Structure 1
């Protein structure tokens, strides 16, 4: 992901999430050197993107998103596998993420990739009715 990709990434983000990341969040992730990745067609059409931090033997998947109209085609799995390979290359032992309990598609993806629920963060996500909890999941590499 490059700064030049942010216009398109933000359009996808706003369509995919009611409470989306801001441009400054993405800029900060790129600036500090997080693994910010896009999967695009040969013509530069961004299909999915992911953001992961990695340090001290741990990685944290912070964002993984696919264009809403392209869901169900395995693109999220491809991005997840790519992020996990980057984590292995960085000699990470554990990968963590948070997910909304109501995001059943993401839960299925993460569970099928070997992530296990290890905890709960009460009121972690903004939601229409206030706040929503996050399930914390982890995978050992």
Structure 2
């Protein structure tokens, strides 16, 4: 079944609280030990100020192993925050994160957000490159923000980035 899942063209869906099992499964398989718990993920999926988009492998129904990627964006008073993009390791390098990033940017614009904010591990070079290609600029760093990935390793910086969504008049 894995081979057919990889060959299927992903379908974009808006995830809800009912879609918790595949989100939890994807998180459990691919996130560092600090990933979200089932109760945290349930809260995110139920939050009306948050949009969660998923990419399903072909026509595989929710609840199975069809969820291959998802992104979470939260609506703030004047901005939006990209909280997560997660792609199944077997599907990386296929443009899925870029697809989800575009959907998140569209959602933030639809909300009328002035900027889209995010933070990313300094060592996640692929994600940083994706965000830069998407027009994000670096706003700063939180030194030693993330816990080490492995025992004995150093803490890792968080890179703060943003994308302006509204044009300001030239002065």
TM range (shorter): over 0.9
Q: Deviations over 1:23-76 (max 9, x none)?
A: 111111122221111111322311210111112220000111011100000000
Q: Secondary structure at the match of 1:76?
A: helix
Extract unaligned runs of 5+ from structure 1: none
Extract unaligned runs of 5+ from structure 2: 1-14, 166-171
Map of 2:95 onto structure 1? 74
Map of 1:36 onto structure 2? 52
Query: Which of these residues, 28, 38, 60, is aligned with residue 14 of structure 1?
Result: 28
Query: What is the TM-score of this pair, normalised by structure 2?
Result: 0.77
Deviates more, 1:122-131 or 1:57-66: 122-131
Map of 2:73 onto structure 1? 52
CA distance, structure 2, for counterparts of residue 108 and residue 51 of structure 1: 19
Q: Secondary structure at the match of 1:27?
A: helix
Q: Secondary structure at the match of 2:109?
A: helix
Q: Deviations over 1:103-140 (max 9, x none)?
A: 11101100000011101112322222363210000000
| Regions of 4+ moved over 4 Å | none
Query: What is the TM-score of this pair, normalised by structure 1?
Result: 0.92
CA distance, structure 2, for counterparts of residue 9 and residue 3 of structure 1: 10
Greater share of residues in strand: 1
1:1-141 matches, within 5 Å, as 1-19=15-33, 20-33=35-48, 34-40=50-56, 41-44=58-61, 45-127=66-148, 128=150, 129=153, 131-141=155-165
Decide which structure has the larger Cα Rg and report it. Answer: 2
Contact 2:20 2:45 in 1 (8 A): no
